[in-house]
């Protein structure tokens, strides 16, 4: 059992964190301030300039072109990535150097820290650090450890990709195999940054050494220790949230007029405590990696004599923090001031979040719990739960007819490897579709679908999609068919295709048209559309503000996690497109009927308080 016993490594990491917690906390706080006040504004400015060099006011992948300014755009994006990489690396390198002194039982001196950072800086400017660049900016955040740095928290796989994969058995298998492979790679490279920081190894050499040292039971111990740490962090986060929300619950009951103030300052305090909890978790994790690295190197060195240590060595003769308490007192004072300032800022936040949401709820392709996507059964199911709009996809067939279908290939839902562009309207509408929930239906023509929607008095959000069989005048043909069905009135539109959105507005200026952005940032793109439909990952507060300033509506897709739903509802987004519209409707109803600010504060903490 000693081979998989995680507690020696966990205990060593905990002791190292305790000995150097104050120094680690100062580093974490300093890095957070630098990123907030300097790095983030600089990165935002560089990104906007990169877009403008390509003739764009905001990121629009559909209109990205290889113009004369593309070279400047690519250079500025590279600068942004390098800046983020260097900041993340320097943050962790500082923690590694500080905690390594504790693991080795050595005193901490500013000179030794400075020498270590200079050594890291010299190696970072070399091309040999590129493998580490990929690891820190891709593997680590995509594996779920983006919380370790402010700059990597937004790096994740867009939900529309994972959601689409999970809609089929084969896609589900691919998705989970990918996640398992990603986790395995992250584990095997876990010692890369400590090796890179503490030795003369380049990025590639450090990663190869990490792969060798994490083989076998060492990797298992690290995984188990990490799981225990995550569980403890989750419990601590729950306690933090409960304690932070209690004063507001009391004020809601006893003094409602004071609730906005109490909630705002409770949020500010919780934000600072969350930062310190993140620091504690990160420092413990780094301490664990250093302890494992020391153990594995000792085992490798002693392998010939058979005297390898079975457990991580004690980090220091004493695990008690040394020195006076004055630095801790000063640090506590700084944190208190920052919490106070955050509380003042959050007064306006609480007022904004406490307004009752009037967000429209869109059933994505209907309601998958009640019928196959983009079928009349799915339409009726969505109507039955009371959605405001049903979102559907429309594309042309080989003979110019219009059907309601999302995929250009029919294999996922019909099991037949055929393309919409190769079939006529009659051939497609004769086919049966089945989903992973056991529902079964036929592919509807646009005429049949719209006719049933009119009977139900159910408004539609119609997306113009492409099958490959589109006629040059496909937008005109779509408008003509809808007009013949009396389907233009009461329904709205959106599309990923810029030209289709512009053409629809030219043909019918009275039509309400949305422009879909799979990735957005840097501002609002130039468009004649009436609203933007932004993928959840890019649907930030800044993008919502920019859309409002430009006079555009703000809708997010495809929002399937309850945390994201509640955040967008609290922010007053104009619409939410979801595969689970019943959950969005329930959350909206709850918020519209709530009394007090405790619920508002709870949702605010999911946005502002990041502990792990």
Predicted local distance difference test score (pLDDT) of residue 340: 96
Length of the chain: 612
Q: Higher model confidence: residue 146 or residue 97? A: 97
Q: Are 356 and 397 in contact (CB under 8 A)?
A: no
For residue 361, what is the enclosing H or E element? strand 360-364
pLDDT in tens, 25-39: 999 999 999 998 999
Whether residue 60 has pLDDT greater than 80: no
pLDDT in tens, 416-467: 999 999 999 999 999 999 998 899 999 999 999 999 999 999 999 999 999 9
* 183 to 104, 134, 143, 190, 561: CA distances (angstroms): 29, 15, 6, 10, 22
Give the pair of three-digit tokens for residue 157.
């796989």
**What own/partner pairs with CB < 8 Å and gap ≥ 24 does 495-499 have?**
495/463, 495/464, 495/465, 496/62, 496/463, 497/62, 497/464, 497/466, 498/60, 498/62, 498/63, 498/527
pLDDT in tens, 518-531: 888 888 998 999 99
Q: Percentage of the chain surpassing pLDDT 70?
A: 94
Distance CA(98)–CA(30), nearest Å, equals 15
* 512 to 224, 347, 504: CA distances (angstroms): 53, 35, 9
Predicted local distance difference test score (pLDDT) of residue 522: 80
Predicted local distance difference test score (pLDDT) of residue 435: 92
pLDDT-derived band at 316, boundaries 50, 70, 90: very low
Predicted local distance difference test score (pLDDT) of residue 160: 78
Whether residue 550 has pLDDT greater than 50: yes
Q: Are 369 and 562 in contact (CB under 8 A)?
A: no
Distance CA(346)–CA(354), nearest Å, equals 12
Task: Annotate 511-547 with DSSP letters as a single string.
Answer: S-EEEEESS--SSPPP-S-SEEEEEGGG--HHHHHHH
Predicted local distance difference test score (pLDDT) of residue 74: 86
Q: Are 190 and 222 in contact (CB under 8 A)?
A: yes
* 25 to 37, 92, 98, 224: CA distances (angstroms): 18, 12, 11, 25
Nearest alpha carbon to residue 133 among 74, 203, 202, 181 = 203
Distance CA(98)–CA(113), nearest Å, equals 7
Predicted local distance difference test score (pLDDT) of residue 306: 45
The Cβ of residue 408 has, within 10 Å, a number of other Cβ atoms equal to 14
Predicted local distance difference test score (pLDDT) of residue 610: 63
Distance CA(316)–CA(294), nearest Å, equals 13
User: 3-state DSSP call for residue 288?
Assistant: helix
Distance CA(210)–CA(220), nearest Å, equals 14
Nearest alpha carbon to residue 316 among 554, 591, 18 = 18
Give the pair of three-digit tokens for residue 237.
């986060």
Burial of 296 (0-12, 13-18, 19+ CB in 10 A): buried
Predicted local distance difference test score (pLDDT) of residue 315: 43
Q: Locate tokens 């400017």: which residue?
A: 125
For residue 247, what is the enclosing H or E element? helix 217-254
Whether residue 55 has pLDDT greater than 60: yes
Whether residue 188 has pLDDT greater than 90: yes
Task: Give the orientation angle of helix 217-254 with respect to helix 598-608, to 10 degrees.
Answer: 150
Whether residue 361 has pLDDT greater than 70: yes
Nearest alpha carbon to residue 270 among 605, 35, 563 = 605
Predicted local distance difference test score (pLDDT) of residue 314: 44
* Average per-residue pLDDT for the chain: 90
R_g of the chain computed on alpha carbons: 28
Predicted local distance difference test score (pLDDT) of residue 504: 98
Q: Are strands 531-535 and 440-442 parallel, antiparallel or unpaired?
A: unpaired
- Choice among 163-172, 244-253, 421-430, 455-464 with the minimum mean pLDDT: 163-172
pLDDT in tens, 500-513: 999 999 999 999 99
pLDDT in tens, 117-161: 999 999 999 999 999 999 999 999 888 777 667 777 777 787 878
Q: Higher model confidence: residue 310 or residue 181? A: 181
pLDDT mean over 163-188? 90
Q: How is the chain split among helix, strand and coil, in percent rounded to 5?
A: 60, 10, 30
In angstroms, how far is the first alpha carbon of the chain from the final one?
A: 29
Whether residue 5 has pLDDT greater than 80: yes
Predicted local distance difference test score (pLDDT) of residue 611: 53
Question: Who's near 402: CB < 8 A, 6+ residues apart?
Answer: 394, 395, 396, 425, 445, 446, 447, 477, 478, 481
Nearest alpha carbon to residue 375 among 596, 383, 457, 282 = 383
pLDDT in tens, 581-605: 999 999 999 999 998 999 999 999 9
Q: What is the pTM of this model?
A: 0.86
Q: Where do the domains of the chain lie, and which CATH numbers do they carry?
A: 7-307 (no CATH), 360-595 (3.20.20.190)
Distance CA(264)–CA(601), nearest Å, equals 8
- Choice among 65-74, 377-386, 483-492 with the minimum mean pLDDT: 65-74
pLDDT-derived band at 307, boundaries 50, 70, 90: very low
Whether residue 65 has pLDDT greater than 80: no
Q: Higher model confidence: residue 235 or residue 170? A: 235
pLDDT-derived band at 568, boundaries 50, 70, 90: very high
Distance CA(42)–CA(53), nearest Å, equals 16
Q: Higher model confidence: residue 324 or residue 209? A: 209
Whether residue 479 has pLDDT greater than 80: yes
């Amino acid at each position: 059992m000693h081979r998989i016993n995680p507690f020696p490594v966990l205990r060593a990491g905990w002791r190292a964190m305790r000995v150097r917690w104050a120094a680690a906390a100062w580093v974490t706080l300093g890095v957070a301030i630098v990123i907030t006040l300097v790095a983030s504004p600089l990165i935002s400015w560089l990104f906007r300039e990169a877009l403008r060099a390509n003739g764009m006011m905001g990121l629009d992948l559909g209109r990205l072109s290889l113009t004369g300014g593309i070279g400047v755009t690519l250079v500025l994006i590279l600068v942004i990535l390098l800046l983020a990489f260097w900041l993340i690396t320097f943050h962790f390198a500082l923690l590694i150097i500080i905690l390594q002194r504790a693991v080795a039982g050595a005193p901490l001196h500013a000179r030794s820290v400075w020498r270590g950072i200079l050594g890291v800086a010299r190696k970072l400017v070399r091309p040999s650090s590129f493998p580490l660049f990929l690891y820190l900016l891709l593997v680590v955040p995509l594996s779920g450890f983006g919380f370790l740095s402010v700059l990597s928290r937004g790096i994740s796989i867009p939900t529309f990709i994972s959601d689409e994969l999970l809609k089929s058995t084969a896609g589900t298998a691919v998705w989970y195999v990918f996640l398992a492979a990603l986790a395995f790679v992250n584990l095997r490279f876990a010692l890369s940054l400590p090796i890179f920081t503490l030795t003369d190894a380049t990025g590639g050499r450090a990663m190869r050494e990490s792969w060798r040292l994490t083989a076998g039971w060492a990797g298992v111990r690290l995984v188990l220790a990490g799981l225990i740490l995550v569980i403890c962090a989750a419990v601590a986060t729950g306690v933090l949230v409960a304690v932070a929300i209690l004063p507001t619950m009391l004020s809601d009951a006893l003094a409602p007029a004071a609730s906005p103030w109490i909630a705002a300052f409770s949020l500010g305090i919780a934000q600072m405590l969350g930062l310190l909890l993140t620091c504690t978790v990160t420092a413990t994790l780094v301490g664990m990696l250093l302890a494992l690295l020391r153990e594995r190197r000792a085992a490798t060195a002693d392998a010939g004599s058979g005297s390898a240590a079975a457990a991580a060595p004690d980090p220091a003769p004493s695990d008690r923090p040394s020195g006076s308490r004055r630095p801790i007192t000063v640090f506590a004072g700084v944190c208190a001031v920052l919490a106070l300032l955050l509380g003042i800022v959050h007064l306006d936040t609480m007022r904004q979040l406490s307004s009752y949401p009037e967000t429209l709820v869109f059933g994505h392709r209907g309601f998958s719990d009640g019928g196959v996507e983009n079928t009349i059964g799915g339409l009726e199911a969505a109507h039955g739960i009371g959605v405001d709009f049903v979102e559907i996809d429309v594309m042309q067939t080989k003979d110019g007819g219009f059907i309601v279908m999302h995929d250009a290939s029919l294999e996922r839902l019909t099991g037949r490897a055929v393309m919409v562009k190769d079939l006529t309207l009659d051939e497609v509408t004769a086919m049966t579709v089945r989903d992973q929930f056991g529902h079964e239906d036929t592919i509807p023509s646009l005429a049949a679908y719209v006719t049933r929607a009119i009977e139900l008095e159910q408004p539609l959000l119609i997306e113009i999609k492409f099958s490959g069989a589109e006629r040059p005048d496909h937008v005109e043909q779509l408008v003509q068919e809808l007009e013949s069905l009396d389907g233009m009135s009461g329904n709205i539109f959106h599309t990923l295709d810029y030209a289709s959105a512009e053409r629809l507005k030219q043909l019918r200026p009275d039509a309400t048209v949305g422009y879909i952005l799979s990735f957005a940032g840097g501002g609002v793109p130039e468009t004649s559309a009436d609203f933007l439909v932004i993928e959840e990952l890019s649907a930030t507060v800044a993008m919502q503000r920019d859309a409002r300033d430009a006079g555009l509506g703000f809708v997010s897709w495809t929002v399937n996690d309850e945390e994201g739903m509640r955040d967008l509802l609290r922010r007053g987004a104009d619409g939410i497109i979801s595969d689970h519209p019943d959950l969005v409707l329930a959350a909206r109803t709850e918020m519209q009927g709530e009394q007090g600010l405790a619920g508002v504060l709870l949702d605010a903490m999911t946005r502002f308080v990041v502990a792990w």
